[in-house]
Amino acid sequence: MESFMPGWQVGIDIGGTFTDIVAVHAPGGFPPRTAKVA
Per-residue pLDDT of the chain (38 residues; tens, 9 = 90+): 444 555 555 554 555 555 555 555 556 555 555 444 44
Domain annotation covers residue 7: yes
Residue 34: per-residue pLDDT: 47
If one counts the domains in the chain, the total is 1
Q: Determine the structural domain holding residue 17 and report its residue range.
A: 2-31
Q: How far apart are the C-alpha atoms of 1 and 36, rounded to whole Å? A: 23
Query: b/e per residue, 7-37, with b = 16+ CB within 10 A?
Result: bbebbeebbeeebbebbbeeeebbbebbeeb
Residue 35: per-residue pLDDT: 46
Q: pTM, whole model, 2 decimals?
A: 0.15
Domain annotation covers residue 27: yes
CB 34 within 8 A of CB 23: yes
**CA neighbours closer than 13 Å in the CB half-sphere of residue 26:** 19
Residue 23: per-residue pLDDT: 52
